[in-house]
Copies of this chain bind each other. A is one copy, B any other.
């Protein structure tokens, strides 16, 4: 049996879709939650100076989305054909585009506060709605799932990134999106995810 060791901070963000997938897969893994005070020391030992990192039988995997797709393949969460796999990849990329647009504003430490507030307002009134409408339209065809008519790794990625984006924007972004809420609920009420969430450590934000 494969051994898994995940290295990330003690908060959800980019580590969480990987934790969701490992918990869903029902495999044992070491959930190595690093302290902020150790970060710079650990950073220099990673291939691109970033986490999450997933070690699988000692092999170091980095880059969140490729790791998620890899686990999706392991745990039978791919599409049934190449077009379905495209559809999963596509929604994951779209969520990522949105996430990065939010991060650029949320973690903007250089612009004056009023400029950041302006950008944040534009995110709320335009960008976020634009992307979520695209995802809602796709979801409306898939009966409780995001990319295709069955549970895929894209649903786990979606639900964990919604949590992360909600945290950055300090509101529930999918409140008015019926189908996206249904997908989110399907993931969060999955038995294995529920059990994990109940026992996960209290996040330690930076």
Contacts and interface: CB of A to CB of B under 8 A. Distances in A.
A70 B82 contact: yes
A108 to B, nearest CB: 13
Contacts of A63: 89-90, 93-94
A48 interface: yes
Contact of A62 (B61, B69, B73, B90): B90
A133 to B, nearest CB: 10
Interface string A96-125: 010000000000000000000000000000
A56 B82 CA distance: 12
A73 B82 contact: yes
B65 A85 contact: no
A205 interface: no
Contacts of A67: 86
A53 to B, nearest CB: 12
Of A82, A94, A130, A131, chain B has the most CB atoms within 10 Å of the CB of A82
Contacts of A70: 82-83, 85-86, 89
A63 B138 CA distance: 14
Interface in A53-72: 56, 59, 61-63, 65-67, 69-70
Nearest to A67: B86
A47 interface: yes
Interface of A: 47-49, 56, 59, 61-63, 65-67, 69-70, 73-74, 82-83, 85-86, 89-90, 93-94, 97, 130-131, 134
13 contacts: A48-B130, A48-B134, A59-B83, A61-B86, A61-B90, A63-B89, A63-B90, A67-B86, A69-B86, A70-B82, A70-B83, A70-B85, A74-B82
Given A61-B86, A65-B93, 9 more contacts: A49-B130, A56-B83, A59-B83, A63-B90, A65-B89, A69-B86, A70-B85, A73-B85, A74-B82
